[in-house]
Structure 1
Amino acid sequence: MTLRMTPQQLAGHDGSDPSKPLYVSVRGCIFDMSAGRTFYGPGGPYAVFAGKECARALAFMKVQPEFCTGDLSDATEQQLKTLSDWESKFKSKYPVVGELAEA
């Protein structure tokens, strides 16, 4: 079964509740990052991505909350390639569990 989540629902999977899976969205594709909780969970170096759409942050290589959006309108070809590399890495490591719906 594929989940469809709004950004608000996704935000509830930020790792703050250990009983819930930890999700990250990239270009609307939701990954279950629970296996990487030490990296993406609270206190982890990439915790800012948890429970959010983070395509822009990955493309621009920024680990700040203001970059956690899906806006790629001003991304360069190189930044889009960087994002594609991250997507491939995530797909090889973490299960895809659903898609991000519009709010």
Structure 2
Amino acid sequence: MSDNTEQSKKFQPKTPVELAPPKDDPITFEYLSKCDGTNEGYPTYVAIMGTVFDVTGNASYTPGKGYHVFAGKEPNRALAKSSLKPEDCIPDYEDLPDNEKKVLNDWYTFFSKRYNVVGKVKSEGSSNL
């Protein structure tokens, strides 16, 4: 297992980012789907392993750009597989091999050092997060 400080440095942004304290507001998949960069008045969000990140302002997530496929979704499987296929942009990842789960964890770390955490994904109809 590698040293945590080494891991931590590996994902540091080139330019320091001032992040707001993380929020744990419940965000439904319905609301998340509206945060895909195509709906005026809505931010652009990407969820990873239940945590919702605000990627508004990063052009890579806007319509027509490479990572737009992730916007408004919880694309765990796609991130774990390093896939840009829309059919892979689903939350399910538990059945993936450990090496792909590690890639997903690396993406989570990468996002957590660059984007504000605005909430947690909440399933419709569920009484808890």
TM-score by length of 1: 0.92
Superposition pairs of residues 9-88 of structure 1, within 5 angstroms: 9-36=31-58, 38-88=59-109
Q: Which one has a larger percent helix, Structure 1 or Structure 2?
A: 1
Q: Percent identity?
A: 37
The runs of at least 4 consecutive aligned structure 1 residues that moved more than 6 Å come to none
Alignment partners' CA distance in 2, 1:17 and 1:72: 28
- The amino acid of 1:10's aligned partner reads L
For 1:73 and 1:28, the matched residues in 2 are separated by 13
**C-alpha RMSD of the superposition:** 1.2
| Aligned residue identity for 1:69 | I
How many residues are treated as equivalent by the alignment? Answer: 102
> Where in structure 2 are there 5+ consecutive unaligned residues?
1-22, 125-129
Could you give the per-residue CA deviations for residues 18-70 of structure 1, whole angstroms, max 9, x where no partner exists? Answer: 4321001101100000131x101111101011000111110011111111111
Residue type at the aligned position of 1:54: P
Q: Match for 1:77: what amino acid?
A: D
Residue segments in structure 1 that go unaligned for 5+ positions in a row: none
Q: Return the match for 1:100 from 102, 107, 121.
A: 121
Provide TM-score, normalisation by structure 2.
0.74
